[in-house]
Structure 1
Amino acid sequence: MFKQAVYNADLTECLEIGYFENWKGEIQIEQFLPTTKKVPKVLPKEITSLELAFHRNENAYIDGVEYWNTKNITDMNYMFFEAENFNQDISTWDASNVIDMTEMFAGASKFNQDLSKWDTSNVNVFGQNIGASNPNWKPEHRPKFNKTIGKFNCLK
């Protein structure tokens, strides 16, 4: 399964989201260009992985992403990796089926949104608490993990 992303002329708006089957057999979103400021409000239901979706994105706000239905997503690892300026409210996303949040916000140094209400009960891979190395992200805003994972104690 493969679909290539379509962009406007100045490459700031993704008109159609691309995706492909990755090595794990997941349908993974095609990484957006760093200049992407706007995406479709509807996430294709085939997509189960948002791995690296906004890697190195340059923007604080990405119009449309706040409306995504993420109920089918199982993989959010490195999703906003090194997206230094990103700081948008995505608290309404449904993370209940996500298994992997490895370094989701690592390097997203301005991110400080409240995700404490996310249901992370299925997450079993997260690495550095999905971006706890960010000094601007208040601990009370981070998702709560209610289990011990390897050497990490994530109990509330």
Structure 2
Amino acid sequence: MLNHLKQELLEMLNEKELYKFIYAYHEAPIIMIYDIKYDNQTIRLPIDGNNHRIIFENDVEETELTHTFKNKGEYKITIYGDNITYINYGKLPFWECFYLKEVVSYGTSKLNKISFKRCISLTKVPDELIETVDDISEMFSETKNFNQDITNWNTKNIINMSGMFEKSIFNQYISNWDIENVKDMSYMFYNANEFTQNISQWIIKTDINTKNMFVGAGISEENKPILK
């Protein structure tokens, strides 16, 4: 029966389409939206892993992490690959971070680290944080348009929040976040002068790194967390 099904699929789909079909049903991809501002713009995806298969909206498929768009415009980028453990824009020079507009899905990847540092066009990410992530240091550092409601994120597995909102405009309610396992909050709100939310319900243990956590932040003293 399986051979019969395979034969039918081969008849219906060419090799490229069959490849897409197999991936679609066995592995959900990472999906991003890029807003390309100029013709002949080259981008680089800051991910690791191997066996990459990157599908661009205009049906261009690549195995490399770089691609040049002939025309400016908005593009959906679909990313398949094995052992992808990070998305880290902090590894790129600042001018390569300008074009990411939205992250639609993290797929079924087993990411450990996510950072959109300096992604100044970013406005939206998935509503849920995947459970495998434990490092969100510099996640929204120096973002200039991101202010999404991420109140319901499950942060119980997070260890590193260092510089998460550094120099960002973020100002949303996050008082209900679980910070029990966090070890590093240094520079978390450094120069985040828009952030004024009440997080006084957080209880931060003395062994947690809180160096310069609120330096330059807009938060008032009464809204800061309890140190124990």
User: Considering the TM-score relative to the shorter chain, is it more than 0.5?
Assistant: yes
What is the correspondence of 1:49-88 to structure 2 with a 5 Å cutoff?
A: 49-59=135-145, 61-63=147-149, 65-83=150-168, 85-88=169-172
More divergent stretch after superposition (44-53 vs 115-124): 115-124
Greater helix fraction, Structure 1 or Structure 2: 2
Contact 2:206-2:227 at 8 Å conserved across structures: no
Contact 2:185-2:209 at 8 Å conserved across structures: yes
Contact 1:20-1:30 at 8 Å conserved across structures: no
Larger Cα-atom Rg? 2
Does residue 90 of the first structure (1) align with residue 174 of the second (2)? yes
**TM-score normalised by L of structure 2:** 0.53
What is the correspondence of 1:1-156 to structure 2 with a 5 Å cutoff?
A: 6-10=31-35, 11-17=100-106, 27-31=112-116, 33-59=119-145, 61-63=147-149, 65-83=150-168, 85-121=169-205, 123-128=207-212, 130-134=213-217, 136-146=218-228
Q: Specify every segment of 5 or more residues in structure 1 that has no aligned partner in the other structure, as ranges.
A: 22-26, 147-156
Aligned residues: 134
**Partners of 2:189 and 2:214 in 1: how far apart?**
5
**Partners of 1:106 and 1:17 in 2: how far apart?**
27
**Partners of 1:8 and 1:132 in 2: how far apart?**
33
Contact 2:156-2:181 at 8 Å conserved across structures: yes
Q: Deviations over 1:33-90 (max 9, x none)?
A: 2222111111111100110100111136224x2221000001100001111x221111
**Partners of 1:102 and 1:20 in 2: how far apart?**
25
More divergent stretch after superposition (52-61 vs 71-80): 52-61
**TM-score normalised by L of structure 1:** 0.75
Q: Deviations over 1:95-124 (max 9, x none)?
A: 111110001000111110001101323752
Identical-pair percentage: 31
Contact 2:140-2:146 at 8 Å conserved across structures: no
**Runs ≥4 residues deviating over 3 A:** 17-21
- Higher RCO (CA < 8 A, seq sep 6+): 1
Q: Specify every segment of 5 or more residues in structure 2 that has no aligned partner in the other structure, as ranges.
A: 1-28, 36-99
Greater strand fraction, Structure 1 or Structure 2: 2
